[in-house]
Amino acid sequence: MFDKFTHLDYATVGFCQEDNSIYWNYALVNKLISLEQLKKIEQALKSLKRNPALYFENRHQLKGLITFLKRNKYKFGYEDSWMFYDGRNIDKSNFNNIKKVNNQSDLKIFLKIFDSCYQKNDPQNVYGELGEYLIVAEKSWHKHHHSNRIEYFIVYNDKEPVAVSTLTNHKQIGYISNVGSLRTARGKGFGKLATLYCVNLSKKRGNTQHCLATEEGTFPNEFYKRVGFKTAFTAICYLKK
């Protein structure tokens, strides 16, 4: 989803052209930093016309980073729960109801259903409408689907598309995202099917880890716990407006 990375000795700055949200525009850090280094991170993001934001693992060794950022007028943005599949057996009996997006016609269906799964005033959706992210999703498929770096899937109920999911394959990690089902089709296992299909395919692709990220304390977070994912660590984002 990122269009550009700027690698510093102490951080990696990610940038997304179409979507300016803090989910795709931040500095990934993994150690305590100095004020001078923070200023350089801020300059890198401001040069890209993005607000300063830092994303890092919420572990004991980095607690001082939170205090440091608060002292420099940063505020808490969000916390991700990084969840990994626990290895339980997967029921594959309904996998034939899933179709991979292989062409422009399939992509059009995927994007329509994906957009319909994420709407306002939905108690199961913490993200709201997709907005510019839908453009990013379309662009990413065109850029990476030929190599299977990114794969999109549509779940059908008979002949009707009702759910979607995405699998990203990179360095033996299968990252699952964009899972959603139409509100009219919920409670029938389509979201679970879309998720576990990606886990199973991730194994076939040779990945050794199968993971996803959700925000702590949300419906998706609880949903993935029920279908076989466990939180390995959390990561937090602090931003300065």
Domain residue ranges of the chain, discontinuous segments joined by +: 4-73, 95-235
Neighbours of 150 (CB within 10 A): 23
With residue 217 as reference, give the H or E element that holds it.
Answer: none
The pLDDT assigned to 128 comes to 86
Query: Do strands 150-157 and 4-7 pair parallel, antiparallel, or not at all (unpaired)?
Result: unpaired
DSSP3 helix / strand / coil % (the chain, rounded to 5): 35, 30, 35
Burial of 72 (0-12, 13-18, 19+ CB in 10 A): middle
Contact between 15 and 230 under an 8 Å Cβ cutoff? The reply is no
The pLDDT assigned to 1 comes to 85
Distance CA 222, CA 215 (A): 10
Q: Which residue has the tokens 């679970």?
A: 192
The pLDDT assigned to 76 comes to 97
The CATH code belonging to domain 95-235 is 3.40.630.30
Q: Count Cα atoms within 13 angstroms, Cβ side, for 179.
A: 28
The pLDDT assigned to 241 comes to 85
Q: Count Cα atoms within 13 angstroms, Cβ side, for 106.
A: 16
The pTM of this model reads 0.93
Would you write out the chain's pLDDT as a tens digit for each of its 241 residues? 899 999 999 999 999 999 999 999 999 999 999 999 999 999 999 999 999 999 999 999 999 999 999 999 999 999 999 999 999 999 999 999 999 999 999 999 999 999 999 998 898 888 889 999 999 999 999 999 999 999 999 999 999 999 999 999 999 999 999 999 999 999 999 999 999 999 999 999 999 999 999 988 889 999 999 999 999 999 999 999 8
